[in-house]
Structure 1
Amino acid sequence: MNVRQVIPRDAIPSVNGPEFGSAYDGNPDDRVVVFEPESGPVRAYPVRYLHYHEIVNDEPNGQPIAVTWCPLCGSAIVYSREASQGTLEFGVSGKLAADDLVMYDRETETEWKQSSGEAIAGELRGESLAVLPAALITWNEFRERHSDGLVLQPPGGESEASGPGDDPAPIDYDAEPYRAYFEHDGFGLDAHRGGDSRAWKRDDIDPKAVVLGLESDGDALGFPLPRVEDAGNVVTASIGEIDVVVFAADGIHAFEHLGFNFEYEDELFFRADGVRWHGASGESGGGRQLTRLPARRLFAFAWQDDHGEDGFWSPE
C-alpha cells in the first residue's frame, strides 16, 4: 500500500467538542451525513463543513462516534471510537494511503485507513473500527424527515483545504474546494491538484461512481449507484448471513431485507406489502421501519482499492 505524507499533521483540523443547533446556513440541496444515536435527536453533519475538517469526534448521549469524510474518495463513513485500548479521539494525519485519508488516534498514535477502518501502522495495527449505520442525503430531505433533528454548527478556524499551499488558512464555508475535482473524470490527489489521474482499467464502472459498500461475516459487496438505478432503483442480495435490500433514493441506502417484493413507485418511494416505503429512511406509511445496515459510501476506485476488481454487485 502506497502511504505518503502530503501535508502536516492536523493542518486539516478535526472537530472536537462539536456544537449543534436547529438552523443551517447552507443550501437545501447540500449533502449531510446523518446519524441516528441510540437515544436523542438525529444529527446531521454537512459535507460543506467536512471538506475543511474531515473528522468530527462526537459523543451523542455518551455514544462515542467519529464522523469521517475523505473528499478525494467521496467516502462518508461513521465509526465507533471504541477500540481495544478504550475510547479514541481521531485527527487528520496529513498522510494518504492510496489517495485515502489516513486518520490517527491521539491516544496511541496508531494510523487508520479511513475507507476500510483498518489500523495500518502503530500500536493497534491489525484492529478495525466498527462501522455504524448512517446515511448521506440532502439537507432539505433531512429537515423534512427530522423536524426536531440537530445539525452541526460551523466549527470555524483555519484549514489547509482553504488555501493553495500546505499552511492552514481561514475557512470560508461558502467556497467549494473540491468542486472541480468532483466535476472532472480524473481521480486521486494528483488529479485534484491538476496533474495526471491514476489509471483506471475498466469501462463498466466509472472510477468516481458512487458505491455503497456492505460487509458481513467476512464477505463484502459494493453496490454502484448507476447499476442499482439501471435495475429499477431497488436490488436485493445476500452478504454472508444477511439478506439486504438496496434503494436508489436521494442517494443510495441499504436495509435488512424482510422478504418483500419492493417495486419502484416514484422519486423516493417504493411499494411493498400493501404500503409505501420511503427509500432513504426505510419508513413505511404504516409506521413500520426497516433496519438500516452499517455501510460505507464512497467512490468506486476507493472500494476497488480495498476489495478488488470483483467486489461489486452486478445483475445476474
Structure 2
Amino acid sequence: MTNLRTTFLARGLAVLAGTALFAGLHVSGSASASTDAHAISATTSTPTNASIADGGTTASRHDTATEHRNACRIHRLLTGTFSAPDSRSAKRLAAKVVAPHAVTHAAGASTGPSGILAQFAADRARVPGAHAVIKHLAADGDLVAVHWQIAPDPKDERRGEAAVDLFRLANDRVVEHWSLDQQIATGKPASGNTNTMFSDLYRPAHRTKAPTERQEERNRVLAVRAYDSLFRDHDVSVLDRDFDPAYLQHNPVAPNGTAALKQLFAGGAQFPAQQSVISLSDGDIVWTFSQRVDAKSGDPILAADLFRVDGGKVREHWDVVPAS
C-alpha cells in the first residue's frame, strides 16, 4: 500500500468482507493468524432484558462501588493467570472469579474458567514469552473492558498484539466474555503516523477535573452517537460537530485528524451499515463494540474502539480490529 487513499480502499474492501472499520483501518499482513479462533469468532449475546439503546448493560451505571470491585477482580484475573494459565494457582484464581457456566464467545470454547484460561494459553502460544500489559481498564454497569498488549517485551509497545477483552459480571463473577486482538504492524507506516497503538498523548489546554458519573454518561452518549452517525447513517457532518479536527489517532494506517475520514467518504467508498451494540464510559474514555446493523445472533463483533472525550469533543482514538 503506497498511500493513505489506497489504505482506505483496502480497508473498505475488508469491511465489505465482514471486517470492521473506524478511522484507523486494517493493514494487509498485520492481522492475527487465521487460526486465532477467539479473535475471528468473537460474538455478542446481549441479554434479552438489555438493549443496544442502553449500551448492553442491565446494571446501574452509577454504582461506583460495584464497578470498582468488578474492575479489581478483572485486573487480578488477567495479571494473576496470564503468565501461567495452566498452573494450579491460575486455575484456583480463575475458579474464584469466573462462574462455572460463564460463556466465552469463541468457536469451540469451553464454558467457565477453562474457556478464559484456554484463550490466555493460545495468546502465549502465538507470542512466546508474552506478558499481559494493561493499558486502559474501564468498568461501567456490569461490564469491564481491558485494552492491553500481549507483549514479548513490556517496554516495547511496537511488538506483539493489541487486545481488548470485555467481561460481564454478576454477583462478583464473570458470566460472559468476549476477546478481540490484532497483530501490531511493524515497519514504517505509509501514513506517517508514528503513534503507538497504546500511548496516551492528549493533553488538555487547561487542567480539568475527573468526569462525574453524569459526565461519563454524557460522554458515552456523544461517542456512540458519533460512531453510529458516521458508520450507520454515513453522516460525515458529525466529524465537524463532535471531533477535534486534530484528534489523535493510534492506528498507524491513518494519520491524526479528521481530514483522512473526510477523504474516505468523499471518495465515494460504501460500507455496510454498522453500529455500536455494547458501550462503556469510565473516566474520559468511551468504549464501543460494533456489529453490522443487520447482524444476527452469533454474528461477530467487528471491532472495539476507544474514544477520549473532553470538552464535548473526541480528542483521541484507539482501536482493535480482528482479522476475519
Both structures adopt the same fold (TM-score exceeding 0.5):
no
TM-score w.r.t. the length of structure 1 is: 0.29
Higher strand share: 1
TM-score w.r.t. the length of structure 2 is: 0.29
The structure with higher relative contact order (CA 8 Å, sep 6+) is: 2
